Structure 1
Amino acid sequence: MTKGLSTEVIDTIQASRKPVTNAIYAKIWKKFCTWCRDYPPSPENPNLSQILDFLQAGFSLGLKPSTLKVQISALSIYFDFPLADHRWIKRFIKGCSRIKPHIHNPVPSWDLSLVLNILTEPPFEPLDSANMKILTFKTIFLISITTARRLGEIQALSRREPFLRILDDQIILKLDPLFLPKVVSEFHRRQEIILPSFCANPKSEREKKWQTLDVRRCVLFYLEATKEWCKDSSLLVNFGGKNRGLKASKATLARWIKSTISLCYKTANTSLPGDIKAHSTRAMATSWAEKRGASLDQICRAATWSSSSTFAKHYRLDIASQEDLAFGRKILQAVVPPK
């Protein structure tokens, strides 16, 4: 609905949302208009009953409550009315959530310790003899797992100053100022991303092995290896094909992360468990950080969540430590009768 606004004003208002969001909302509006052909009145003047019938039709076809909420947001924009605040809409969504509750699988889909251990061995080490594909795989995985950032944010990292600063014990990165994060705020746009060193001065064989997981060290190797043929200011670039040296897409970054996990399982001669998603590194990183003593405030700040409820509801995994396993193992030791 234009409400008599000029085209320029409408374009400016639409710029408040990401292009992909506008595209999704437009698709929902088109679907609603098509649906209204069989369920009058016209889409320009619907009543609440008609809107609820549209939502019910989608729910009956298997749409999740979260998807219905997106539809409500889209229709609210077109009708210029906060549908989500209406008591009937609230109760409808609550009913949908009770019928089809959100099920979060808290079990890790892959083993972080297995992957990290393989990353300390050939073909990932030594780095100076690893090929470009292997070096890229290790670099993107370590960045992803040590920062818990979204792929869009990792893609927006730059290799040029002042957005990259190399210090003795860390690398400090800033997002490209032209990049718009999922939440457009000063906090999200200005927050620094820290890549810390790990076992920088090893004193034992075990610490030397751990040092191979130093993300700062890995990124420095990567920057040196790509500087001669890199054609873009982006930190992560394509290593082969016609796009060699150009900025890697989010889809490419996701494929590299999944390929890294898959290769680690193959190297360990272990079958890959199910369908691995690149986004799973976000849950894995934050859950292990909590397990090792990171506060919820630290976790939310690193992952750019405004509330710890997002972590608790959607990302926290049940990671059993040796202490957690001790109780059950004590019981099973009953198989050995006391002397």
Structure 2
Amino acid sequence: MDPESDYMKSQGLSSAVINTLKASRKPVTFAIYHKIWKKFCSFCADNPPCQSNPNILQVLNFLQKGLELGLSTSTLKVQVSALSAFFDQPLIEHRWVKRFILAASRLKPQVLKRTSSWDLSLVLNALIKEPFEPISSASVKNLTLKTVFLVAITSARRLGELQAISIKEPYMRVLDDRIILTLDPNFIPKVVSEFHRGQEIILPSFCKNPSSEREREWHTLDGKNKGRKASKATIARWLRMAISSCYDIQEIPVPSGIRAHSTRAVSTSWAEKRGASLEQICKAATWTSSSTFSKHYRLDLPSSKDLSFGRKVLQAVIPP
């Protein structure tokens, strides 16, 4: 059953128009919305909801149950979006719903994780040694893990965008100091806009002309990519394996809670620490606003500068 399509059909829309309107959402979003609607209908079993005339009391009681079950504010917002789609009304604009979401954000404030569970420098140092080097003797598995991790960390892109990378012409250009990749034009990004679809992925060479032993070691991070197209789940697994393997081979306990998506936060945060501007960071990560980075991705990386203020205060014990 597809109650949203049935409702639009009852409003006189043709099947062709309905299919076009439904294409505005990704299949996964449709599946999530449909699941929420089924839960809402089950919740309102004694008084089935009317799509043409939403009962705000039912909506609020449904959200209250979710809040009591421990759902986060962001999840409650998704529920409001789903119900808005089926009722064909912007429920979030209703004064009581808006107030409820505001109250939920205060009762259950979002806890932002500002530290990474894994160490970027530790992983990079492991990738320039066995079993990842030399490339000529590295296994296909280790070469794949190394390549996928380096592409993810140097591009700061989402898993879906990594999956959409194509090595076919004209989507890949190999230059002396970089490789420029363009996403498959059939790929639909999370945010559909000319900006998000047109951004190139630039993978720079590292220590192109090494002049010392240390630079020659780091130059080995420029491995070449091989392999077939992989699913997002597979790429995510490879990233987790790459990080875990680097800890294992150095006999260091593997941190818990390693997530593939963390490469975006680690990559952009270290870029900022090394002097990259917010404009450069947002362009690379395809964020239209720096607030996305500051609110959700910026990590508190260790820095001696963080100690300078406290040290200056304590210097009060030193006679002027």
Common fold, TM-score beyond 0.5? yes
- Are residues 1:18 and 2:23 paired? no
- Runs ≥4 residues deviating over 3 A: 322-331
Task: Determine whether 1:218 maps to 2:223.
Answer: yes
1:68 aligns with 2:76: yes
Alignment gaps of 5+ in structure 1: 227-236, 238-246, 332-339
Counterpart mapping for 1:163-182 below 5 A: 163-182=171-190
Supply the distance in 1 between the matched residues of 2:263 and 2:158 (Cα, whole angstroms): 9
* Residue number in structure 1 paired with 2:317: none
SS in 1 for 2:210: coil
Residue type of the partner of 2:114? P
Residue 85 in structure 1 maps to residue 85 in structure 2:
no
Contact in 2 for aligned 1:146/1:195 (Cα 8 Å):
yes
Per-residue CA deviations over 1:154-206 (Å, capped at 9, x if unaligned) read 00000100001111111010000111000111111111110111101001111
Cα distance in structure 2, aligned partners of 1:68 and 1:49? 15
Number of aligned residues: 305
Could you tell me how far apart the structure 2 residues matched to 1:282 and 1:186 are? 21
Are 1:252 and 2:220 an aligned pair? no
- 8 Å CA contact retained: 1:36, 1:43: no
> What's 2:302 paired with?
320
RMSD (Å) for aligned C-alpha atoms: 1.9
Selected match of 1:184 from 192, 212, 217: 192
Question: Can you give the 5+ residue segments of structure 2 that lack an aligned partner in the other structure?
Answer: 1-6, 314-320
State TM-score, norm by structure 1.
0.86
**Residue from 106, 114, 124 that aligns with 1:116:** 124
Partner of 1:208: 216
Structure 1 residue 325, shift from structure 2 partner: 5.6
1:261 matched to 2:237? The reply is no
Q: Distance between the aligned counterparts of 1:43 and 1:71, measured in 2? A: 17
CA distance 1:323–1:42, shift in 2 (3 Å): closer
Match of 2:112, SS? coil
1:34 aligns with 2:72: no
- Is 1:278 equivalent to 2:278 in the alignment? no
Identity %: 64
1:57-79 Cα deviation digits (max 9, x unpaired): 11111111101111111111111
1:240-298 per-residue CA deviation (whole Å, 9 max, x = no partner) reads: xxxxxxx2111111111111111100111100121111111110001101111111111
Relative to structure 2, which stretch is displaced further, 27-36 or 91-100?
27-36
Equivalent residue for 2:148, pick from 133, 140, 145: 140
* Contact 2:41 2:48 (C-alpha < 8 Å) held by counterparts: no
**In the alignment, does 2:276 pair up with 1:294?**
yes
* Partner secondary structure for residue 203 of structure 2: strand
CA distance in 2, matches of 1:69, 1:63: 10
CA separation of 1:126/1:327 partners in 2, compared to 1, >3 Å: closer, same or farther?
A: farther
Evaluate the alpha carbon distance shift between residue 178 and residue 190 of structure 1 in structure 2; reply closer, same or farther with a 3 A threshold: same
Amino acid at match of 1:132: V
Whole-angstrom distance in 1 between the partners of 2:246 and 2:113: 23
- Secondary structure at the aligned position of 2:144 is classed as helix
The aligned runs of 1:97-108 (5 Å cut-off) are: 97-108=105-116
Partner Cα separation in structure 2 for residue 299 and residue 252 of structure 1: 26
Aligned to 1:52: 60
- Maintained 8 Å contact 1:157/1:175: yes
Contact 1:148 1:281 in 2 (8 A): yes
Deviation at 1:327, TM superposition (A): 7.8
- In structure 2, the CA distance between the partners of 1:330 and 1:108, relative to structure 1 (3 Å rule), is farther
